[in-house]
Chain A
Amino acid sequence: MTTMTPDAGTQDEAAHEARFNATVAADERIEPRDWMPDAYRASLVRQIAQHAHSEIIGMQPEANWITRAPSLRRKAILIAKVQDEAGHGLYLYSAAETLGTGRDELLDRLHTGRQRYSSIFNYPTLTWADVGAVGWLVDGAAITNQVPLCRCSYGPYARAMVRICKEESFHQRQGYELLLALSQGTEAQHAMAQDAVNRWWWPSLMMFGPPDDESGHSTQSMAWRIKRHSNDELRQRFVDICVPQAKSLGLTLPDPDLSWDEEREHHTFGPIDWEEFREVLRGNGPCNEQRISQRRTAHEEGAWVREAAAEYAAKQVQQQRHTREEDIA
């Protein structure tokens, strides 16, 4: 985009910053061409990119079951869901692009391990029930995280999130419905559902990030209204939502310490294994290697296709120019 720039430099940095702070404080949105602090921009790029990467890496554990979906109805739902994730990745990459960092650059950072994606996707989907558990718990946790982002201070990110949240509501529902069918099905199906919930419960709780007292980026992000609630707050909200849902599914959550706290009016839950979280983050999860290598392969194997289309477009432009010159002559 080009800009008609009037006499720049009439206002000094401090005035810019004051205006930025006032806009954020008034709960108005910052838009791409507004002045913003470098750190705000960097923080947003990091967060949006990580979010975008999570969407496209997150396609893999579910796509893993497309060719084996046990009914045509479930198959259609799963294809549509994985497709949505690609779409959400695209919305988010374009939101990041408004901050001046292109998708190719961001993908490169992902492929070379310089940027992360949600570590939940480093866990494997071992049975069909995992598709349900991912929908119910992983998407459920994601939605809990994302709904407040619809009011994030950065306009393009907030707008992308509105669209994403609207579309994601079916993702969680289909997961719940899938698990319900299994839970109420044969003994083997019920066991499959319980096993999946057992494996996905704790990693889902880790999706909200480290406890508040250890979370590095939180305070500044809250001040900038990129983030609206603390990790622990959101995690608590999620647990409170899930407990009754698990009950109506006829499944249990794998936490012996889970209980209702009258005083706090919240569920108390057992300690999270943060060592596992850190290890997975460090690259030692069951699928880190596999996920990134599949992504890289798809990208590299697609290079000739992207080149071909770019080359074709260039030829067309040249041809048009040629024709135009001939017309003039």
Chain B
Amino acid sequence: MSPLPASAALALGDDALVLSHRLGEWAGYAPVLEEELALANISLDLLGQARILLSLVGDEDELAYLREERAFRNLQLVEQPRGDFAHTIARQLYFSSYQRLLYEELARGDDALAELASKAVKEVAYHRDHAEHWTLRLGDGTAESHQRMQQGLNALWRYTDEVFEPIEGLSVDWPTLRERWTEQIAHVLQQATLTMPSGPQGDAWTAGGGRQGVHTEPFGRMLAEMQHLHRSHPGAAW
């Protein structure tokens, strides 16, 4: 079994950590009580994945709480503020579709990640299912929900290019993954009477993206909130 490169564990671990955090922001604000349960479940699944992945690299808390913004390797997609429910569902659809395809492929491998991926793939399949069901209901629900859902999809579209950037140390057929992802998203959106966004999938700035430690402005604030207590008591145990 080949050891998992730290860069890959960090990238995947940070994705899960940051998205879990953003979903955690819904606690007490979900549109209906049943959804409090669902969003918390997804958040907990992701946090569990993050803890395993980060622990492969070092101490989970040191990595989560003591790194600076530029050292995080998560996608910009997952760090965006939660927005309204449609926004959150749009992100869930984009991300869980990607994560499922990726983890399915990783689960077939023989490295340290295969075992983790084969457990996570079941969780992720459920996240995908949740996102798909809500995309259908919001897209083909009322005029307002349709418009909000389309808006969420459009707004996050520009963060989807980066999703398919190869991660160092993972042998994944990225072009095929991207193709399948695009097909799946198109299929769901069509069923949901929504339109595939047409704008650019990335931005014009070539400084890099989340995988290179280049993040968006809201991320710094998110980390400030997440890390402040831990950092206020250096060396303390919790």
Q: Counting CB contacts under 8 A, is A5 at the interface?
A: no
Q: Does A308 contact B (CB under 8 A)?
A: yes
Closest to A315 in B: B140
Stretch at the interface among B47-55, B169-177, B208-216: B47-55
Q: Are A188 and B228 in contact (CB under 8 A)?
A: no
Residues A308 and B238 in contact, CB atoms below 8 Å apart: no
Q: Is A309 an interface residue when CB atoms closer than 8 A count as contact?
A: yes
- Which residues 254-293 in A have Cβ within 8 Å of B in the complex? none
Residues of A within 8 A of B70 (CB): none
B140-A312 in contact (CB<8A): yes
Whether B47 contacts A75 by the Cβ 8 Å rule is yes
Q: Which of A63-71, A133-141, A200-208 contacts B (4 or more CB under 8 A)?
A: A63-71
Question: A70 is contacted by which of B48, B60, B238 (Cβ under 8 Å)?
Answer: B238
Could you say which of B122-130, B155-163, B229-237 contacts chain A? Answer: B229-237
Known: A68-B229, A70-B230, A185-B236. A90 touches B27 (CB 8 A): no
Q: A72-B51, A185-B237 are in contact. Are A83 and B36 (CB under 8 A)?
A: yes
Q: A66-B24, A72-B51 are in contact. Are A298 and B30 (CB under 8 A)?
A: yes
Contact A86 B229 (CB under 8 A): no
Instruction: Say yes or no: A82 contacts B225, CB within 8 Å.
Output: no
Describe B's contact surface by its main secondary structure: helix
Chain B residues with CB under 8 Å of A308's CB are: 137-138, 141-142, 144-145
B226 adjacent to A83 (CB under 8 Å): no
CA distance A306 to B85 in the complex (A): 11
**CB-based contact A298/B31 at 8 Å:** yes
A312 engages B141 (CB within 8 Å): yes
A80: Cβ under 8 A from any B Cβ: yes
Once bound together, how far apart are the Cα atoms of A70 and B231, in whole Å? Answer: 8
Residue of B nearest to A297 (CB): B29
Cβ–Cβ < 8 Å partners of B228 in chain A: 68
Chain A: minimal CB distance from B27 (Å): 4
Shortest Cβ gap from B181 to chain A (Å): 25
Contact assessment for A128 and B28 in the assembled complex, using a CB-CB cutoff below 8 Å: no
Interface residues of B in 117-157 (CB under 8 A from A): 136-138, 140-142, 144-145, 148
B40 and A82 within 8 A (CB): yes
* Least distance between A119 CB and chain B CB atoms (Å): 18
The answer to whether B27 and A82 touch across the interface, beta carbons within 8 angstroms, is yes
Which residues of chain B come closer than 8 Å to A75, judged between CB atoms?
Answer: 24, 47
Q: B99 — which chain A residues lie within 8 A by C-beta?
A: none
In which size bucket is the chain B interface? Answer: 35 or more
Bound: A182/B29 CA distance, A: 29
In contact, A309 and B44 (Cβ under 8 angstroms): no
Asked whether A326 is an interface residue with its Cβ less than 8 Å from the other chain, the reply is no
Q: Is A148 an interface residue, CB under 8 A from the partner?
A: no
In the complex, what residues of A have CB within 8 A of residue B141's CB?
307-309, 311-312
- How far is the CB of A8 from the nearest CB of chain B, in Å? 36
8 Å CB interface, B193-233 against A: 225-226, 228-230, 233
* CB neighbours of B60 from chain A (8 A): 72
What 1/0 flags go to A122-156 for Cβ under 8 Å of B? Answer: 00000010000000000000000000000000000
Kindly state whether residue B168 has any CB partner on chain A within 8 Å.
no
A70 neighbours in B (Cβ, 8 Å): 65, 229-230, 233, 236, 238
B24: which of A67, A73, A188, A305 is its contact (CB, 8 Å)? A67
- Residue A165, interface by CB 8 Å: no
Which residues of the other chain, A, contact B64 by a CB distance below 8 angstroms? Answer: 72
Q: Which residues of A contact B35 (CB under 8 A)?
A: 302, 305
Which chain A residues have a beta carbon within 8 Å of chain B's beta carbons? 56, 59-60, 63, 66-76, 79-80, 82-83, 86-87, 89-90, 93, 128, 178, 181-182, 185-186, 188-189, 294, 297-298, 301-309, 311-312, 315
Instruction: Show the binding face of B for A, using Cβ within 8 Å.
Output: 17, 21, 24-25, 27-37, 40-41, 43-44, 47-48, 50-51, 54, 60-61, 64-65, 84-85, 136-138, 140-142, 144-145, 148, 225-226, 228-230, 233, 235-238
Additional 11 contacts, C-beta under 8 A, given A67-B226, A79-B27: A75-B47, A79-B44, A83-B27, A86-B33, A86-B37, A185-B233, A185-B236, A298-B31, A301-B84, A305-B145, A308-B145
Q: List 7 A-B contacts (CB under 8 A).
A: A59-B36, A68-B225, A68-B226, A70-B236, A185-B238, A186-B233, A311-B145
